[in-house]
C-alpha cells in the first residue's frame, strides 16, 4: 500500500495572488493527482500550513482552492491534514485554527489538531500537529510513548535548513526522535535529511528563496517501508544571464523564451554595451508571457563563473538578513532575532 505525503501547501500565498493560484493548480492537476491516480493511491497525509495566513482567509482564495484541491481530496481520497503554525490564530495554542473552521465540513479530510495514531497495513503512523505552549506536554508524551514506526509532524528542529543555506539554530533537539525509525516533517521549506529525520519541503516554489531548490511530494510504501520522491517539473522562478559582448540583435530575435512563460525572471546583466540589443532582449522576454522581469546589474562581478557565486542584488532577502545578523555583536540573541525577522518577512509577503 502507498500513502502520499504532501508538504506545506500555503494556500493564499503571496497576498492571494491569482498568478500563484494558477501555478498551484498546475501542480495539482498536471502532476500530483495524475500520479496518485496512476499508482492507485487513495490516502494522503498533508504536513501542515495548509493555508498561508494565520488571521483570516480571502473568500476567493478559498473558493478557488476548493476547485483545484479540496473538492478533489474530499471526493476521491482520504486525507489527514496537520495543523501547522500558519493555520493557528494564536501563537500559544492551536485551539482556534483555520483547518477546523474551513475544512471541518469535508467528510474525507481529517483535521489533526492533537497527536493522532493511524495505521496502514500494520505500519503505524503518529501524526503530530504544530507544538504550542498549550499542547507541548501532550505532544512530547505521545512522541516518547508511541510504538509507531513513522512520526509525521510539523516540527521546528534545530540543525536543519529552513530555506536553502539558512540553518535553524533553535527549536527541538533532534535527539527527541533518536529511537524512532522514520520522522517526516513539514514547516521548513527546504527538502533535507539527517539520520532518521527528513524535512519533505514544499511541493512548489513560493518565494525567491525556493529558487534552484528541488520541489515535489513523497510516497511512502508500507510494504518496503521506503520513501519515494516525485519531482514537480514546474518552476515559478528563473534566472537568465545577459552578456552582449558576443551577441547580435539578429541572434536575440531567434531566441525562444517560451520556457519562461508564466514565471518570474531575474535578468542578471554581466555585460551591456549595446542598449538596443538589451532592449530587444528584454522586450522579447516580456512578450513570451513572463509575469515580471527583475534586472540585476552584475558589473561588479564580471569574473564570477557561476550563478551560485553571485551575491548582493541577486541574493534573496532572507540570505541578506541572515548575513547582516551574523555580523552583529555577540551580546545579541542572533537566533531569536533571525526568527523574528523571518516571521516579519513572511508577514510582509502576505501584504506586498
pLDDT in tens, 228-253: 999 999 999 999 999 999 899 999 99
Q: Report the C-alpha gap between 255 and 151 in whole angstroms.
A: 49
- CB 125, CB 119: distance < 8 Å: yes
Q: Is 220 a residue whose pLDDT tops 90?
A: yes
How much is the pLDDT for 351? 57
Q: Report the C-alpha gap between 153 and 135 in whole angstroms.
A: 14
What letters, b where the CB count within 10 A reaches 16 and e where it falls short, cover 20-48?
bbebbebbbeebbbeebeeeebbbbbbbb
pLDDT bracket for residue 26 (50, 70, 90): very high
Look at 89-103, 127-141, 285-299 and tell me which has the smallest mean pLDDT: 285-299
* Percentage of the chain exceeding pLDDT 90: 82
How much is the pLDDT for 305? 43
How much is the pLDDT for 303? 44
**189-206, pLDDT tens digit by residue?**
999 999 999 999 999 999
Look at 122-136, 154-168, 240-254, 317-331 and tell me which has the smallest mean pLDDT: 317-331
- CB 179, CB 209: distance < 8 Å: no
pLDDT bracket for residue 341 (50, 70, 90): confident
How much is the pLDDT for 333? 77
How much is the pLDDT for 335? 75
- CB 156, CB 165: distance < 8 Å: no
Distance from the Cα of residue 247 to its chain's centroid: 37
Domain boundaries, the chain: 2-231, 237-314, 317-351
pLDDT bracket for residue 350 (50, 70, 90): low
How much is the pLDDT for 304? 44
How much is the pLDDT for 300? 53
Taking residue 158's Cβ as centre, other Cβ atoms within 10 Å add up to 13
Q: Report the C-alpha gap between 311 and 322 in whole angstroms.
A: 13
Mean of the per-residue pLDDT values of the chain: 91
Run of H or E including 59: helix 59-65
Pick the CATH number of 2-231 from 3.80.10.10, 3.90.550.10, 3.60.21.10, 3.40.50.2300: 3.60.21.10
Q: Report the C-alpha gap between 176 and 63 in whole angstroms.
A: 40
Distance from the Cα of residue 267 to its chain's centroid: 23
Q: Report the C-alpha gap between 165 and 156 in whole angstroms.
A: 16
How much is the pLDDT for 326? 76
Q: Give me the residue label for grid cell 545578523.
A: 325
How much is the pLDDT for 102? 97
**276-324, pLDDT tens digit by residue?**
999 999 999 999 999 999 999 875 554 444 454 444 344 557 777 777 7
How much is the pLDDT for 310? 47
Cα distances from 50 to residues 11, 84, 100, 136, 200, in angstroms, run 6, 7, 11, 21, 14
Q: Which three cell numbers stand for residue 102?
A: 474551513
Q: Is 179 a residue whose pLDDT tops 80?
A: yes
Amino acid at each position: 500500500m502507498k500513502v502520499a505525503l504532501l508538504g506545506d501547501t500555503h494556500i493564499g500565498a503571496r497576498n492571494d495572488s491569482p498568478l500563484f493560484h494558477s501555478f498551484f493548480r498546475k501542480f495539482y492537476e498536471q502532476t500530483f493527482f495524475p500520479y496518485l491516480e496512476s499508482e492507485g493511491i487513495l490516502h494522503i497525509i498533508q504536513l501542515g500550513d495548509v493555508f498561508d495566513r494565520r488571521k483570516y482567509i480571502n473568500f476567493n482564495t478559498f473558493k478557488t482552492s476548493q476547485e483545484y484541491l479540496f473538492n478533489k481530496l474530499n471526493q476521491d481520497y482520504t486525507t489527514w491534514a496537520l495543523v501547522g503554525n500558519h493555520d493557528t490564530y494564536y501563537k500559544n495554542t492551536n485551539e482556534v485554527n483555520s483547518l477546523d473552521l474551513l475544512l471541518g465540513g469535508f467528510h474525507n479530510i481529517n483535521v489533526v489538531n492533537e497527536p493522532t495514531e493511524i495505521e496502514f497495513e500494520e505500519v503505524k503512523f503518529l501524526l503530530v500537529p504544530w507544538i504550542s505552549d498549550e499542547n507541548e506536554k501532550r505532544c512530547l508524551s505521545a512522541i516518547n510513548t508511541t510504538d509507531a514506526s513513522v512520526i509525521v509532524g510539523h516540527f521546528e528542529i534545530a540543525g536543519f535548513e529552513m530555506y536553502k543555506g539558512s540553518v535553524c539554530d533553535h527549536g527541538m533537539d533532534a535527539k527527541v526522535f533518536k529511537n524512532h525509525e522514520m520522522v517526516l516533517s513539514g514547516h521548513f521549506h527546504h527538502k533535507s535529511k539527517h539520520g532518521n529525520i527528513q524535512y519533505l519541503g514544499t511541493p512548489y516554489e513560493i518565494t525567491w528563496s525556493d529558487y534552484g531548490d528541488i520541489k515535489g511530494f513523497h510516497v511512502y510504501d508500507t510494504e518496503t517501508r521506503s520513501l519515494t520522491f516525485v519531482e514537480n517539473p514546474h518552476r515559478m522562478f528563473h534566472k537568465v544571464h545577459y552578456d552582449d559582448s558576443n551577441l547580435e540583435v539578429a541572434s536575440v530575435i531567434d531566441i525562444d523564451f517560451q520556457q519562461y512563460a508564466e514565471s518570474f525572471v531575474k535578468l542578471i546583466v554581466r555585460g551591456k554595451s549595446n542598449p538596443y540589443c538589451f532592449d530587444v532582449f528584454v522586450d522579447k522576454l516580456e512578450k513570451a508571457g513572463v509575469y515580471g522581469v527583475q534586472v540585476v546589474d552584475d558589473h561588479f562581478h564580471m569574473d564570477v563563473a557561476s550563478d551560485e557565486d553571485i551575491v548582493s542584488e541577486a541574493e534573496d532577502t532572507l540570505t541578506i538578513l541572515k548575513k547582516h545578523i551574523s555580523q552583529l555583536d555577540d551580546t545579541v540573541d542572533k537566533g531569536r532575532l533571525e526568527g523574528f525577522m523571518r516571521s516579519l518577512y513572511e508577514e510582509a509577503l502576505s501584504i506586498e
